[in-house]
Amino acid sequence: MNEQPSPITTHKEIELRSPILIAAFRGWNDAGDAASFAATHLGHAWGAQKVASIDPEDFYDFQAVRPQVHLLDGVTRHITWPANEFWAARNEALEHDVLLLVGTEPNLRWRAFSELIIDKAQSYGVELVITFGALLADVAHSRPVPITGTAADPALIAKLGLTRSRYEGPTGIVGVLNDAFGRQGVDSASLWAAVPHYIAVTPNPKAALALINKATQLIGIPVNTSELEHAAASYEEKVTEMVAADEDVEAYVKLLEERSDENTLEEIDPTRLPSGDALAAELERYLRDKEEDQGG
């Protein structure tokens, strides 16, 4: 009987010192592409090398997550499949190396998918896992991005200054993966950025920068963010111009700013914020009430 090939392809053999795994997935967990953009930026900033990838064949419904066709040199057609890639970054001056996983949330076999990731992480000796997530929320683009860090293990919560997650409801691959690592005795934490729901600009560099700053603060590994800081400032300026072009939206954003100014960031918990549908309904209700107040 022929042995089935491994779903993971190794591209480069590398040894890592007490590595920390940082993972982010496009899709349900990635509002404004902030989480995946943050992890990708870290890979570029740290000069990470691709060391492994997961074959997408067993984990995706390609009618739901379709491969993309690109033209190389304007002539040759190339198909890009949903990717989940491991990237390794080494720095001899630091205590820990970093293993990055940037991918796309799968449609199928989440438990098997999580087991593959855990096996690969353990083969490198990963001691801590940090996942990135981003969700739509009723927050203003002109205010600091609320970041919530959660974990299940009390010792890790105390060590990293996080909070215990109180969320109940549907979850994504990020939640499943954190649970799976916990069951294997590997410490894991999740960082979530709140992204303004009234704009559709992607990626959101301001939210990505906030995730990176929080993660590097937790793990003590520095990174140059000057390029991303410039992109975040440009993003905020352009969104402000877009908002100013619509009086109703501008008034709504001012309301969000007032709410933000009345609360400290520590009091905002994105895991308790309403769904995207509820946020859209709130905006519609606000505009309708405003029109009625004006006698329209």
CATH number of the structural domain spanning residue 77: 3.40.50.10900
- What mean pLDDT is predicted for residues 212-225? 90
Instruction: Please tell me the predicted confidence (pLDDT) of residue 32.
Output: 92
Instruction: Please tell me the predicted confidence (pLDDT) of residue 103.
Output: 95
Helix, strand, coil percentages in the chain from 3-state DSSP, rounded to 5: 40, 20, 35
Task: Check whether 47 has a pLDDT greater than 80.
Answer: yes
Task: Check whether 295 has a pLDDT greater than 50.
Answer: yes
Instruction: Please tell me the predicted confidence (pLDDT) of residue 218.
Output: 86
Q: Which two tokens stand for residue 172?
A: 């994504």
Instruction: Please tell me the predicted confidence (pLDDT) of residue 271.
Output: 43
Say which residue the tokens 């449609």 belong to. Answer: 107
Q: Please, which residues have CB within 8 angstroms of residue 60's CB and are 6 or more apart in sequence? A: 82, 104, 106, 107, 108
- What mean pLDDT is predicted for residues 260-279? 53
Structural domains counted in the chain:
1
Q: What angle do CA 240, 245, 249 make, to 5 degrees?
A: 75
Task: Check whether 244 has a pLDDT greater than 80.
Answer: yes
Instruction: Identify the residue with better confidence: 60 or 150.
Output: 60
> Chain-wide mean pLDDT for the chain?
85
Q: Is residue 217 in some structural domain?
A: yes
pLDDT class for 258, splitting at 50, 70, 90? Answer: confident
Q: Is residue 108 in some structural domain?
A: yes
Could you tell me the residue range of the domain that residue 75 belongs to?
8-293
Instruction: Please tell me the predicted confidence (pLDDT) of residue 168.
Output: 75
Q: Is residue 210 in some structural domain?
A: yes
Instruction: Please tell me the predicted confidence (pLDDT) of residue 163.
Output: 76
Q: Is residue 2 in some structural domain?
A: no
Give the whole-angstrom CA distance, residue 56 versus residue 106.
8
pLDDT class for 265, splitting at 50, 70, 90? Answer: very low
Q: Is residue 240 in some structural domain?
A: yes
Q: Is residue 266 in some structural domain?
A: yes
% pLDDT > 70, the chain: 87
Task: Check whether 50 has a pLDDT greater than 60.
Answer: yes
Q: Is residue 159 in some structural domain?
A: yes
Estimate the crossing angle of helix 110-123 against helix 173-183, to 10 degrees.
Answer: 50
Give the whole-angstrom CA distance, residue 96 versus residue 117.
19
Q: Please, which residues have CB within 8 angstroms of residue 83's CB and are 6 or more apart in sequence? A: 53, 56, 102, 103, 104
pLDDT class for 237, splitting at 50, 70, 90? Answer: very high
- Burial 208-217, CB ≥16 within 10 A → b, else e: bbbbbbbbbe
Q: Which two tokens stand for residue 291?
A: 């029109």
Q: Is residue 1 in some structural domain?
A: no
pLDDT class for 291, splitting at 50, 70, 90? Answer: low
This prediction has a pTM of 0.85
In the chain, DSSP finds a helix count (H) and a strand count (E) of 8, 11
Task: Check whether 105 has a pLDDT greater than 90.
Answer: yes
Instruction: Please tell me the predicted confidence (pLDDT) of residue 284.
Output: 55
pLDDT class for 190, splitting at 50, 70, 90? Answer: very high
Task: Check whether 157 has a pLDDT greater than 70.
Answer: yes
